[in-house]
């Protein structure tokens, strides 16, 4: 430790060594088992006897890159956030960057085409109203140290829900294309025919958040709770703050899933390819 402030882990050279070993271990397991995140999204379906699975980027490479990026990005954020929290312009710029990166990430994960920018709708449409309510009611003060982390947590939750819902819905529509066409032949509208297939699949994106909320305090002690305890808050205050985060995340993720599903069923957000999902 470099100072007397409480911390979840001891910040020392040993931490860096352990983190590197854990990252290498994860990448090694992914390489040995040939794990391929993104192979099932249809983006690599253009070649290979296995429908593009062998052409998908390996998880080991993605993990190493993600670990390196996380280290670099957190180092930069540590330097920038000191300036950002001291001015309104800095706060707005910081939030805008978080939002832009989330939209770009979601767009690339779902479609990798010109429709990807529409992921801005579920992310902004779910996060903005919740943040507005917090500010108007005074639950979150309009200060950088409060606004940036709260908004970041909500944007992250919306990003996760959008990507999970979108991938599941698009995959299901591609796999059950015949059912959609049969419904159209029976006179269903395009949106309604696709909705019946996409809705149950997209709804699965809510499961992680629901499980986290159901088991909080029993299986895990989330970051907001632990952070407040380490900062000296009472267990009651820490619990209230964590409940605040979990309920807000549920609201954000539910709206994000609903908007994402609507965009996909109306074919506004889709992948390239013969299936036109």
CATH (one of 2.60.40, 1.20.120, 1.20.1640, 1.25.40) for 88-277? 1.20.1640
- At 179-206, the pLDDT tens digits run 999 999 999 999 999 999 999 999 999 9
Query: 243 and 251 in contact (C-beta within 8 Å)?
Result: no
pTM for this model (two decimals):
0.82
What pLDDT is recorded for position 48? 40
- Pairwise CA distance, residues 199 & 261, whole Å: 7
Q: Residue 70: name the closest of 26, 114, 117 by CA.
A: 26
- The phi and psi torsions of 220 (rounded to 5 degrees) equal -135, 155
Q: What are phi and psi of 83, to 5 degrees?
A: -75, -40
pLDDT at 258: 97
What's the pLDDT at 150?
A: 92
Contacts 24+ apart (CB under 8 A), 29-37: 30/58, 30/59, 30/60, 30/63, 31/58, 31/59, 31/60, 34/58, 35/59, 35/60, 37/62
> What sign has the CA pseudo-torsion 164, 169, 170, 175?
positive
Q: Which tens digit of pLDDT belongs to each residue from 193-247?
A: 999 999 999 999 999 999 999 998 888 777 777 777 777 778 888 888 888 989 9
pLDDT of residue 239: 85
Give pLDDT, residue 191. 94
Question: Domain ranges in the chain?
Answer: 13-35+57-84, 88-277
Q: Which residues contact 247 (CB under 8 A, 6 or more apart)?
A: 213
What parts of the chain have a pLDDT lower than 70?
Answer: 1-8, 38-57, 273-277
Residue 92 and residue 85 in contact, taking contact as beta carbons nearer than 8 Å:
no
Predicted local distance difference test score (pLDDT) of residue 5 = 53
CB 118 within 8 A of CB 102: no
Task: Tell me how far apart the alpha carbons of residues 102 and 89 are, in angstroms, rounded to a whole number.
Answer: 20
């Amino acid at each position: 430790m470099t100072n007397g402030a409480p911390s979840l882990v001891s910040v020392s050279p040993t931490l860096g060594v352990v983190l590197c070993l854990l990252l290498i271990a994860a990448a090694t397991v992914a390489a040995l088992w040939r794990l391929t995140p993104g192979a099932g999204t249809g983006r690599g379906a253009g070649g290979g006897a296995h429908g593009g699975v062998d052409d998908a980027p390996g998880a080991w490479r993605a993990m190493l890159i993600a670990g390196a990026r996380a280290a670099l990005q957190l180092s930069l954020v540590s330097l920038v956030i000191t300036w950002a929290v001291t001015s309104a312009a800095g706060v707005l710029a910081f939030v805008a960057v978080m939002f832009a990166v989330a939209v770009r990430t979601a767009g690339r994960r779902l479609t990798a085409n010109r429709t990807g920018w529409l992921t801005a709708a579920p992310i902004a449409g779910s996060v903005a109203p919740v943040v507005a309510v917090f500010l108007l009611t005074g639950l979150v003060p309009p200060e950088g140290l409060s606004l940036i982390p709260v908004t970041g947590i909500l944007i992250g939750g919306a990003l996760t829900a959008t990507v999970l819902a979108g991938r599941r819905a698009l995959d299901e529509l591609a796999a059950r294309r015949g059912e959609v066409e049969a419904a159209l032949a029976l006179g269903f509208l395009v949106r309604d025919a696709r909705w019946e297939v996409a809705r149950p699949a997209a709804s699965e994106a809510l499961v992680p958040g629901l499980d986290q909320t159901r088991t909080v305090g029993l299986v895990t002690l989330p970051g907001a709770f632990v952070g407040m305890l380490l900062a000296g808050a009472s267990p009651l205050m820490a619990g209230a703050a964590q409940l605040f985060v979990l309920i807000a995340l549920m609201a954000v993720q539910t709206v994000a899933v609903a908007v994402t599903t609507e965009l996909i069923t109306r074919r506004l957000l889709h992948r390239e390819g013969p299936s036109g999902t």
